[in-house]
A = this chain, B = another copy of it.
Amino acid sequence: MDSSELNIIGQHTSLADLFRTLEKVAPTDSTVLVTGESGTGKELLVRALHLKSKRKDKPFVPINCGAIPRELLESELFGHEKGAFTHAIRTRPGRFELAEGGTIFLDEIGEMDLLLQVKILRAIQEREIERVGGQGSRKVDVRIIAATNRDLEKEVAAGRFREDLFYRLNVIPLHLPALRDRDGDVLTLTEHFLQKFYKKSGRHPLKLSPQARKALRAYTWPGNVRELENLAERLSILCDGPEIGLKDLPSKILSQVGDTDLLPDVEPKAAATATAKIGIGNNGDGQVAPARDGAWFWPDISTMCAHSLGLKEFLDTLEERLLREALDKAAGIKNQAAEILGIKRTTLIEKLKKRNLE
């Protein structure tokens, strides 16, 4: 990852300070505390930090403290000696040791158990750790970076986070603002992601219609960049036309927008038909006229084989289905059913007879 990937985080002016601080802090060994809502790209920022540090050639070891039960987390962080607890069949080094010389990234540190906080505090202060069930402690040379989406000051006030640890961690605070607070970034990022997925898929790059732009900017993005990236990927796959219109956006976004001004966005009819051909999917050569609104895909050989049928049986089965359906539609009137199917009535009768139908 080079620094250009930081663009993924955004370009908004509120980030300018952030990046400047990052440049200054990276080469040092200071502890850093990253705050920001979920999905704002904290890990990305931290990775960038690591890569800009002197430790870039050493390990970068992320660990999500919020997701791991207390007992496991301790052994995960500090390792354990054989027999330390029931399932500790053998000695295992912890993440701190694995990160030796490099950086450890304690994500969601706000979730961490108070008891463990003490041990982390010790690791920061003394630069040494002790394995679970271990005897002595061992020195480690690890840079510590932590992140959380909680407001740690409040957690401290509420007694859920140790004040001393907070101050140790909060040497350099880096705050990643939420996407909704970075007006221009939404569009920049969207285009960035669209471009990225375009490259992956080989299809034409998607453009944003003016209405879609408005809607995207008006949305609050509770999932922040992650949600946006996710949407961009989806659009890259699902969008038919060359342009993303309101119709392509999820209702979640549209309903939040609710601006009458935006509603008249009706895609020009001509465009719709003109772009239909881009449709993917036809596994064959697509000689056959593409289905228009066809909510259906042609069965293929794999389908056939899945039923262990031969060509004939397969077509036969399909025919039977169609016969039934036609009869159903025609309420049992064979005359009409035959009409629907575009075959002679007598032919239909023969076919039915052959199958003992009706």
CA–CA, A24 to B310, complex, Å?
27
CB distance from A159 to the nearest CB of B (A): 10
B-chain residues with CB within 8 Å of residue A293 when the two chains form the complex: 1, 9, 16, 306
Stretch of A112-120, A139-147, A256-264 at the chain-chain interface? A112-120
CA–CA, A268 to B326, complex, Å?
11
B-chain residues with CB within 8 Å of residue A187 when the two chains form the complex: 328
Q: In the complex, which of the residues B72, B188, B297 contacts A325, with contact meaning CB atoms closer than 8 Å? A: B188
Whether A151 is near chain B, meaning CB under 8 Å from some CB there, is no
Whether A270 is near chain B, meaning CB under 8 Å from some CB there, is yes
Q: In the complex, which of the residues B22, B163, B270 contacts A329, with contact meaning CB atoms closer than 8 Å? A: B270
CB distance from A20 to the nearest CB of B (A): 6
CA–CA, A39 to B297, complex, Å?
23
B-chain residues with CB within 8 Å of residue A192 when the two chains form the complex: 321
CA–CA, A84 to B52, complex, Å?
37
Whether A181 is near chain B, meaning CB under 8 Å from some CB there, is no
B-chain residues with CB within 8 Å of residue A295 when the two chains form the complex: 9, 12, 15-20, 275-276
* Interface 1/0 per residue, A299-331 and B, CB below 8 Å: 111111111111111110111111011101111
CA–CA, A90 to B86, complex, Å?
11
CA–CA, A274 to B312, complex, Å?
26
Whether A211 is near chain B, meaning CB under 8 Å from some CB there, is no
A237→B67 contact, CB < 8 A: no
CA–CA, A300 to B341, complex, Å?
11
B-chain residues with CB within 8 Å of residue A269 when the two chains form the complex: 329-331
A-B contact pairs, 17 of them (CB 8 A): A16-B293, A16-B295, A24-B238, A38-B163, A52-B281, A52-B297, A52-B302, A56-B302, A64-B118, A85-B89, A163-B223, A172-B234, A172-B238, A205-B357, A294-B306, A311-B322, A311-B342
* 18 other A-B residue contacts (CB within 8 Å) besides A67-B115, A293-B306, A309-B342: A22-B297, A24-B238, A24-B281, A27-B281, A27-B283, A28-B201, A52-B281, A67-B162, A85-B89, A164-B226, A191-B328, A288-B320, A289-B307, A300-B325, A301-B329, A301-B340, A310-B343, A311-B342
Residues in chain A within 8 A of chain B (CB atoms): 1, 9, 12, 15-28, 30, 38-39, 47, 51-52, 56, 64, 67-69, 72, 83-87, 89-90, 114-115, 117-118, 133, 162-164, 167-168, 170-173, 187-188, 191-192, 195, 201, 204-205, 223, 226-227, 229-230, 233-234, 237-238, 267-273, 275-276, 279-281, 283-285, 287-315, 317-322, 324-326, 328-331, 340-343, 356-357
